Structures are given as structure tokens and as C-alpha cells.
Amino acid sequence: MEKSHQILIIGGGTAGIMTASQLLKANPKLDIGLIEPANKHYYQPAWTLVGANAYDYEKTVRPMKDLIPSGVSWIRDYAETLDPENNAVVTRNGNIYLICSIWHPLSELLILSEIHPL
Ligand SMILES: Cc1cc2nc3c(=O)[nH]c(=O)nc-3n(C[C@H](O)[C@H](O)[C@H](O)COP(=O)(O)OP(=O)(O)OC[C@H]3O[C@@H](n4cnc5c(N)ncnc54)[C@H](O)[C@@H]3O)c2cc1C
């Protein structure tokens, strides 16, 4: 499958969610795709308190679906290969996501949040 978005964000951690939210605040009509395989979001700063036995670990875990801003297309997959020459990202499921080629100051933006093996 091949699909395109004006903006493609890889990773629905704090960086990805905040970026999607701020972009939609600036322009609610933006077509944003967010590639994120996990169904849970972890509020990592509180883990310091969990380690000190001063905070409940369960409170640091939230369903991803509750945090992804409405209007953002959640792509539940892993980004596997970046193909910048073709403005494309290939996912583990073999799908290809293109960043829209219509000219716009924001249309060719690829945002990478911290990516590490799960
Ligand atoms: C113990 C601890 C304490 C901290 N304390 C503070 C603090 O006090 N103040 C502060 O500002 N910061 C703190 N931080 C740092 C802060 O939590 C991180 O900087 C922040 O969470 C990073 O956000 P991120 O979105 O870049 O990465 P993450 O929140 O780690 O999210 C990365 C996301 O990318 C997804 N992903 C991974 N690989 C792929 C892939 N191939 N394709 C698609 N998605 C993928 C993951 O599933 C994940 O959802 C702390 C961190 C820790 C661990």
C-alpha cells in the first residue's frame, strides 16, 4: 500500500505527540500521519519518582489512543527504512508513506523523534 501525508511524524512519544499537537494548533487542516507501533505511552520523567518509591508506576502509563490528537492519522506500524530521495518511509508491514509533494512550507517536513529498539 502507498499513501501520502503532508507531514509524517515517526514516534508517538512526548516529542511526536507534542509536535502533532502544536502543528494542528497552528493549522487544523494539516494532514498529519503519525507512525507509532505501541498502544501505550509512558511518562518517563515520573520514573525517577517510581524508582524512589514515591510514585505509582501505573500512573505513568496512558493509552496511546487518548493522547494522539484527533485529526492525526495513527499508523500502527514501525518505520523501517527512510528514503529521503523519494520523500518516503517504508514500514515493517511493507507499506510506503510518502510526504506530500504539494509545495507548502510545512509539506516536506519529516520529523524524527527519539527512535530506539522496543
Ligand atoms: C527516568 C527518566 C527521567 C526523565 N526525567 C526527565 C525530566 O525530569 N525532565 C525532562 O524534560 N525529561 C526527562 N526525561 C526525558 C524525557 O522523558 C524524554 O526526553 C522524552 O520522553 C523523549 O521523548 P521522545 O518522544 O523523543 O521519545 P519517547 O518518549 O521515548 O518516544 C519514542 C516513541 O517512538 C516509538 N518508536 C520507536 N521506534 C519506532 C519506529 N521504528 N517506528 C515508529 N515509532 C517508533 C516508541 O514506541 C515511542 O512511543 C526523563 C527520562 C527518563 C527515562
CATH of the domain at 79: 3.50.50.60
Please check whether residue 118 lies inside any domain of the structure: no
Instruction: State the burial class of residue 51 (Cβ atoms within 10 Å of its Cβ: 0-12, 13-18, 19+).
Output: exposed
* Full pLDDT tens readout for the chain, 118 residues: 888 998 999 999 999 999 999 999 999 999 999 999 999 999 999 999 999 999 999 999 999 999 999 999 999 999 999 998 888 999 999 999 988 744 444 444 555 555 554 4
Model pLDDT, residue 106: 46
Nearest CA among 34, 35, 114, 40 for reference residue 80 = 35
Q: Is 4 helix (H, G, I), strand (E, B) or coil?
A: strand
Give the domain range for residue 19.
Answer: 2-112
CA-based nearest residue to 6, from 117, 114, 98, 118: 98
Asked, for residue 108, whether it belongs to a domain, the answer is yes
61 within domain boundaries: yes
Say yes or no: CB of residue 60 within 6 Å of ligand 1. Answer: no
**Phi and psi at residue 22, to the nearest 5°:** -70, -40
Task: Give the model's pLDDT for residue 109.
Answer: 53
Number of domains in the chain: 1
- Domain membership of residue 117 (yes or no) is no
Say if 85 falls within a structural domain: yes
Å from CA of 30 to ligand 1 middle: 24
Q: What is the pLDDT of residue 87?
A: 87
Q: Is 113 in the pocket of ligand 1 (CB under 6 A)?
A: yes
